[in-house]
Amino acid sequence: MILVFGKTGQVARELQLIGNVKAIGRDHADISNPEICEDVIRSYSPKAVINAAAYTKVDMAEKEENLATKINGDAPIVMANTCADLGICFVHISTDYVFDGSGKKSWSENDKTSPLGAYGRSKLIGEQGIKASKAVYAILRTSWVFSSHGKNFLKTMLNLSENHNELEVVSDQIGGPTPANEIAKTCLKIIDELQLDSSKSDIYHYSGKPDVSWAEFANEIFNQSRRKVKLSPILTSDYPTPASRPINSRMDCRNIENAFGIKRPDWRDGLSEILKDLEILA
């Protein structure tokens, strides 16, 4: 059995659909109290642990950085150290927000990290602590996650299209939308591989292809869902938010393919499947 921290998030819900996992939510493990993570892991005696739980309120993190750091930084470190002590694998989901989003080049795992805000800083603290642990681990940096569950860009666009014929969408942020079910499958495959070869412990990038802007992503959503919405592209500077977003979220995913044979999924295919799940496509 694989223990999953997180129960209602996008990746956690997909893991419950496809894997032999025990997913635990805040009611059983409130990881804003990081020390609880060790007791929880030991009580379940899993063969591996996946951390799919996170503080994800990017703007609110600017006011709640201490809380974000406990959840995104301190708790994963406790998880990693406990996994190291028990001799089991640990997979942790991280983010493109550890980079500053400059330039147009795809970010590689070895590029310098420089988060723009509190959320990214909190996630980076977790990464650094996991790397410093003696755990057999994989840190999976991903981006623009979407699914039929919870809150995400796809669901937001579909909801807005119910009452709006015109929408403004940011066109200068570029990244790879990533279906949550593909992330879940990737986590499980990585665990299988790490159990056979611990030397593959590392940070890996994983995002969908092709890279697009939020406006291009929205356009494909409306095309596939057959909704007539006029899109007006705007710049990030036209839509100020408390926390800065990376402009360039392109991810170089060659290392994960070389190590595990995992290729970037085409997010357009994932979008089609999700729209079917939502009964938007026949």
Neighbouring-strand partners of residue 205? 141
Q: HSE-up of 250 (CA within 13 Å, CB side)?
A: 14
* DSSP assignment of 116-156: SSHHHHHHHHHHHHHHHS--EEEEEEE-SEE-SSSS-HHHH
How far apart are the C-alpha atoms of 142 and 265, rounded to whole Å? 12
CB-based burial label for 241 (10 Å; 0-12, 13-18, 19+): exposed
119 is catalytic: yes
* DSSP assignment of 46-108: -SEEEE------TTGGGT-HHHHHIIIIIHHHHHHHHHHHHT-EEEEEEEGGGS---SSSPBP
- Torsion sign (Cα): 177, 64, 67, 112: positive
Instruction: Name, in order, each residue with C-beta under 8 angstroms of 29's C-beta and a sequence gap of 6 or more.
Output: 5, 36, 37, 40
| 3-class DSSP assignment, residue 39 | helix
How far apart are the C-alpha atoms of 211 and 190, rounded to whole Å? 24
Q: Which of 44, 55, 97, 119 is catalytic?
A: 119
How far apart are the C-alpha atoms of 181 and 183, rounded to whole Å? 5
Residues annotated as catalytic (active site), given as ranges: 119
